[in-house]
Structure 1
Amino acid sequence: MGNTESVPNAFSDIELFPLQEPLVAIDSRFVRKDEITTIRLMETSSFSKDLSFKDVVSKQVVFRSGPKKYLDRLLDAERKPLVKISLNPDIQNVYYVHRPDADSEKDDELMQIYIKQGLTTVKSYLDMKLSVDFTDMTTNRRCKIGIQGEWRARTAMLWLDRGDGQPRAAIGKVYRTKMRNGFNVDIAPNVDTSLMLLICALIDDDLKRLRQYQNGLGTWGLALGM
């Protein structure tokens, strides 16, 4: 596979099996029943403005971000809005996801996504925290998606708790490849790829916000002679 070959990591041996029932949170159009979907995320920009997310196999654009510098909406390949994202300035680390035509002030959100980036140490990155709470459109159950691993190192596994008493299922893997400037996300069969791409793009956008904030503090400190 050349440069698309994955770089070995802690989750390389974890297999992604098809879910027995489709997991749908945004749009059932983006559920592939029998095959793993691999989407490439690039690291070319400090912001999330006008990004394109491509299927690694077909090389086709499958999703896009909006025109603002931070991720405030997810679009399909034809630039039709799928969801919009908002923040409450009084609540840290929580992103609220609504349908494009919803009133963010009045209507219930489609889901809440809690993101807390892992700290950095001299030798490594520490695990981040993620909690995605939503209702599965297939089963009408409340579900939760979490993460294990180091997002900054692009080494992570996403898991699903479907609220049915069954063990958590691995539904996504994040990893680097030998190709420069980017990383891949593998999505398990029978899982809403728009949901998974939204989660991963939003985690990365959150990291960009954090880096911008930290860089701003550094500039401010230099100006004060700190």
Structure 2
Amino acid sequence: MKKLLVIIVFFIPSLGFGQTANLSGVVTYFFNDNFGNKPDIGADVYIIDSSLATFIDIKSYDSLMKGKYFVSIYDRLIILKISCDGLIDEYKLHAKKNKEKIDSLKQVSDSISLQVNKTSDSALLYGCYTGRYRATYLDTKIFEMKMDIERLKDNFIVTNVDGNGSYSANIPLGTYYVYMQSKNRKGLGSSEIGGMIYLKKITVKNTISKTISHNFDIDD
């Protein structure tokens, strides 16, 4: 009986009680075309136990990110169309001489217009508008989630990105939300005025180190 108790005592730690794993990564942000990406020094990394994260709305976050992607494509298409239509206007100054070029550019412009409409519809599917006023209910929901995270941060594991762009934390095994807020790259919506955000759900099942990295780009 004593031998059995000894075996149980030594076996219990192997079940995962008290075990931790290292979570680390590199966080960068797009600086400009000349210098590319730089370490996002001072960016916040929150590691939130899922049992405390009833206010986390990752579905709304994912939808907002997808919508923003289509908005960024829409903006580029609009710039391309303006350039194309500008060339058409220039060629019209000598319409007879440039008839073929004008006809060709009109076809391109019409094609861009179709893509603009499709992209706008795609953005709208994810709750994002491509007009002048782009505030959406999703943006408001994410802003409220950010406020909850800030209010409850003392309950979470919080670390900062160092001068090399790195962060590291030892965490118990479990399921978490990794939430990052950029220090140097800001967005346009109310949810990202204080810094662009990144959110990912992870499960840490063993003591093997896990890496979560992110680059905050202009179109994030």
Task: Report TM bin, short chain.
Answer: under 0.3
By percentage of residues, which structure has more strand? 1
Which protein is richer in helix relative to its size? Answer: 2
Higher relative contact order (CA 8 A, sep 6+): 2
